[in-house]
Amino acid sequence: MASAAVAYSSSITSSNRRRALQTFAMPPKKKVNKYDPNWKKQWFGAGIFLESSEDVNVDVMRKLETKKVLSGVEKSGLLSKAERLGVTLSSVERLGLLSKAEELGLLSLLDSVAGFSPSVLASFSLPLLLAALAAVVLIPDDTPALVAAQAVLAAALGAGGAGLFVASLVLGGLQESD
């Protein structure tokens, strides 16, 4: 009787092991095959059909409208806080920030950035944050010039990493399905 119980339990564990070791071939989500019309046969590169991820088209203005961002800014008192800090519409006009944004093409940049993957932006932010930390740790504090270089480099890398991370959160919120 005891040997039958051992044989039964060993058959259960071996069948569970077989099931645990089985792999299933499943395609990842949002993968598409694209045709490249400019493809030429070369010894390197992708084929005429390349696997890519699905293009995400995000209408930023419509998403901001549906999420009621402007009324949220109004209710939070963000504009009055900005005015207390000295940022008013007349100061924006005096500094020419709107025309400068137009010259630099920031609105079209915003539209093109809205199609980026938030996970890619978050992935790029991590090395920048680690590089900022490495700048603080690895650059010696021997002279005032090195301390200044350390501070400037760490601030630039940290701000870039934090900006990319915040942008990934904002894009994730804009791209989520309704």
Query: Could you report the per-residue pLDDT of 50-103, keeping only the tens digit for each?
Result: 555 555 566 777 777 787 877 888 888 888 888 888 888 888 888 888 888 888
Q: What is the pLDDT of residues 7-42, one digit of tens each?
A: 555 555 555 555 555 555 554 555 656 666 776 777
Report the number of secondary-structure helices (H) and strands (E) in the chain.
9, 2
How far apart CA 88 and CA 80 sit, in angstroms, is: 9
Residue ranges per domain, the chain?
Answer: 116-178
Cα atoms in the 13 Å half-sphere on the side-chain side of 175: 18
